[in-house]
Structure 1
Amino acid sequence: MPHGNALLYCAVNGIANNTNGIGRQTKTFLATLAHHHPRLTQAAGPFTPYLAVPEPGPATWGYNPADLAHARQVVEGLGGRVIALPYNTHRPMWRPAAWQTLSEQAATAARDLARPHKRVLAIGVDTPFAGLAHSVQPGERIEVLLALFSTAQITERPQPDPDRLAWEQDALSAASRSTHIWVAGIGTYLTRHLQQDYGLDPGRLLPWPSGLHLASADLTAPTAFYAEQTVRSFGIPTDRPVIAAVGRTDHTKGLDLLIDAVAPLRDHVHLAMIVVPADDERAALLPRYQARAAELQLSATLIGRYSRTLPRALAALPATRVMAVPSRGETLANIVFETGLWAQHHGAIALAPGRDGFPEQIIDGHNGLLYAPDTPGALTHGLRRALALPDQRRGQMRENAHRRVHAERDAATHLATLLTSAWRPAGQELDNLVGHPLPDARTLRSQAPTSTPAPRETAP
């Protein structure tokens, strides 16, 4: 006899590794489950969480057994398990052939869960699991949520890979024609982009805004003393204004643009960049960035490894004037939200280009700064604006950023809304569930455990 519902979260990052923003989203999902599962079941009814991940092991980019153990601890404690998906580890992961295999394996896992459970919601996180739109058929008691956090048209502009474009288009077209495939509404910009550029039927959207687990210890604002000691331990000087940045060695992150933009300010600032090597030929960008900084005679520290403590300390360091996010294409940047929390009392404001999803994260002059990315010299001008802000104005902008993140980005509330929307009985209104009112962010946080695990040293 089927019992309860099943939530199958399918992801290539954040379960056995943590090397990018999608990994951070997975960590947020796990923390939300660990701390709020009772409240989520009150809102959406009983459910058991499961994780599906490409077969973990040495072939996994940034493989970390501790990450895998943590993921297992969370879901097994709630009655679920981690499901390993076999695939050919000798072929490139970031190609449609590998994604097709993973999507088919995830669909098989969902079918297996449909036997002991009443209904299954399979969340396919980002491009590798978009193939679930084809691999799951109507009538299997399985619903699919495609949670795309970006597209090739955004991250690979101006020449996106045609195979990836076709993969995304096929999946979103299938969702538009279906009654069991949904697409996550991550943010305003991405939703509009999927409708205008991929023809997505707006009736297939379910709201699931990008969020954070706001009660996490590693999202609290550190003291100025802690921030300074941590930053100095990485060899970063604190005797002049600091411009900070965090990103992968990926062309779309635009870190090369920032290096050039700092050149006119070289005599007055120190550039501190955390540059995490990617898992392919893009890793060669790190020595290029280092060589360019040396060529321009910048006062700069480029850290080629990730530590969760360093971005937090840099954001909160009183000497840090700006957290620059010079991306060429971005849906929503985690570092903008995180900076708003870390720099609550002192430290950085965020500076980002006024395109893509950044205008829904930042109101220029209110909780951060925007610049016109297509205007020559605009990034340097934006850095000058940040450096020239009076202390009182900076403090007000940091306060506004902190307040806005807390008001809009509570992951527990967002997940409760998603599950209730997906599983509510036909004809029942989302905000009028008999016996199961949807908790708001304040209620969920007040009912969370009073302590959280210590911050873990994992990648961005």
Structure 2
Amino acid sequence: MRTDRALLYCAVNGIANNTNGVGRQTKTFLGTLQQHHAALTVQVGAFTPYLAVPEPGPALWGYDPADLAHARTVVEALGGRVIPLSWDAGAPMWRPANWQALSAGAARAAATLAVVHERVLVIGVDTPFAGLAHHAGTNPRVDTVLALFSTARITERPHPDPGRLTWETAAITAVNQRPRVWAAGIGDFLTRHLHDTYGLRSDRVRPWPSGLHLTDPRLSPPTPAEAEHTARHHGIPTDRPLITAVGRTDRTKGLDLLIEAAAPLRDRTHLAMIAVPTDDDRARLLDVYRERCAALRLDATVVGHFDPELPRALAALPTSRVMAVPSLGETLANIVFETCLWARGHGSVVLAPAIDGFPEQITDGHNGLLYHPTRPGALTAGLRRALGLTETERSALREAAHRRVAAERDAARHLATLLTSIWPSPPGPGR
């Protein structure tokens, strides 16, 4: 048996695709491994990383062979590999039947790795892999951490899907009852939410704060010329104050609310919005957004696909005034952290509702702006507030935002914290 450990990271998004916030978290994980694996082994001992992903192919939302090739390059260079998991590609991914298959497949993969590695840590990312909790404790060399980045009670309020709710509740119950399984402490709000709403025991949490690969060149600010070129490529004007937003075609992202809120400001701004279509009937919302912009006579561009360079450009354009995040429910929004890095020198300040995890990210008037979403007209008022800032005020907010993210969101440090909480001492010969 090898004396090193194995780290098995299981995710639906970010390995063979990249279409949402979980995908960007997975890209962060891969970037952290690629640059910091050697330093991590000094801190926690030798370990080999593996990735588990639903069998890649056209049925996988946003499947991109280039994403899969990159993931393989990262882990194979470190001695690991990508492990495909069986699933019913003819059925919706976001249903318990496929989640059960994926969780069971990941548990079998972990057991196989435990035959050749001293210990195995399985990280199950988000709802589809919450079922790993039910397999915990069956192998004494396998530890499990569920990294739930949200729940049905957050993203589907006020009427969460009963099947997803049952799945999540059963998973947290298993975390409380079974050995060698924990929930990741992604952020203060989410940890409180899991405790108060799902009954998660406090001693079943291991720290793994949401972070960024801070040295990733893609998180560095583009030059004004680069940002303007990218914006113009997508038909976005660069000579008017911009209200910007990034989300998928999902009601919980609140893009429809932003369109309505921007209407009173139509004569002085351009709305530049990225709305990435989902892989289900929610994709029709893209046409709804465009039709509503036309009906309100908004000066608007709604981009219906994801170009990773476009959010970066929108955040950093000198004419960008605000990155609006009008979500109805969010634990910790990646776009908030990313904007804080992209817009360091010029560009947007972040505007978000004072709910859920947003106050954990933003101190109103210090590193961004918050509004109270239940107050009539609050989003429009927040947009007016952002547009009314002086350049000196915007610069101060952006600088404070950058400092806070740089100080608090180092993904390499956070991964080391998680690994040492599970693997308290490095393995050695003869152990």
TM-score w.r.t. length of structure 1: 0.92
CA positional deviation for 1:137:
2.8
> How far, CA to CA, are the matches of 2:81 and 2:46 in structure 1?
16
Change (3 A) 1:245 1:202: same
Give the letter for the 1:134 counterpart. Answer: H
User: For residues 12-55 of structure 1, what are the alpha-carbon distances to aligned partners after superposition, in whole Å with 9 as ceiling and x for unaligned?
Assistant: 01001111000000000000000000000011100000000000
Give the match for residue 401 of structure 2. Answer: 401
Question: Residue 160 of structure 2: SS of its match in structure 1?
Answer: coil
Give the letter for the 1:313 counterpart. Answer: A
> How far, CA to CA, are the matches of 1:413 and 1:303 in structure 2?
35
**Equivalent residues of 2:318, 2:346 under 8 A apart:** yes
Question: Residue 130 of structure 1: SS of its match in structure 2?
Answer: helix
Give the letter for the 2:350 counterpart. Answer: A
> How far, CA to CA, are the matches of 1:136 and 1:191 in structure 2?
20
Give the match for residue 197 of structure 1. Answer: 197
CA positional deviation for 1:222:
1.3
> How far, CA to CA, are the matches of 2:342 and 2:91 in structure 1?
40
Give the match for residue 67 of structure 2. Answer: 67
**Equivalent residues of 1:114, 1:140 under 8 A apart:** no
User: For residues 176-204 of structure 1, what are the alpha-carbon distances to aligned partners after superposition, in whole Å with 9 as ceiling and x for unaligned?
Assistant: 11230110000000000000000000101
Matched, 1:298 2:298: yes
CA positional deviation for 1:434:
12
**Equivalent residues of 2:111, 2:142 under 8 A apart:** yes
Give the match for residue 11 of structure 1. Answer: 11
User: For residues 320-373 of structure 1, what are the alpha-carbon distances to aligned partners after superposition, in whole Å with 9 as ceiling and x for unaligned?
Assistant: 000000000111100000000000000000000000000000000000000001
Q: How does 1:278-297 map to 2 (within 5 A)?
A: 278-297=278-297
Matched pairs, number: 428
Give the match for residue 337 of structure 1. Answer: 337
Give the match for residue 234 of structure 2. Answer: 234
Give the letter for the 1:83 counterpart. Answer: I
CA positional deviation for 1:223:
1.4
Matched, 1:311 2:311: yes
Change (3 A) 1:178 1:277: same
Give the letter for the 1:110 counterpart. Answer: A
Give the match for residue 96 of structure 1. Answer: 96
> How far, CA to CA, are the matches of 1:97 and 1:149 in structure 2?
20
> How far, CA to CA, are the matches of 2:284 and 2:338 in structure 1?
28
Matched, 1:366 2:363: no
> How far, CA to CA, are the matches of 2:71 and 2:231 in structure 1?
29
Change (3 A) 1:199 1:38: same
**Equivalent residues of 2:3, 2:427 under 8 A apart:** no
Give the letter for the 1:115 counterpart. Answer: V
Give the letter for the 2:95 counterpart. Answer: R
TM-score w.r.t. length of structure 2: 0.98
Q: Which runs of 4+ in 1 moved over 4 A?
A: none
> How far, CA to CA, are the matches of 2:238 and 2:75 in structure 1?
42
**Equivalent residues of 2:228, 2:238 under 8 A apart:** yes
Give the match for residue 383 of structure 2. Answer: 383
What is the root-mean-square deviation in Å for CA atoms of aligned residues?
Answer: 1.2
Give the letter for the 1:75 counterpart. Answer: V
CA positional deviation for 1:421:
1.1
Question: Residue 2 of structure 1: SS of its match in structure 2?
Answer: coil
Give the letter for the 1:150 counterpart. Answer: S
CA positional deviation for 1:92:
1.4
Question: What residue ranges of structure 1 are gaps of 5+ in the alignment?
Answer: 426-432, 436-460
**Equivalent residues of 1:138, 1:180 under 8 A apart:** no
**Equivalent residues of 1:103, 1:128 under 8 A apart:** yes
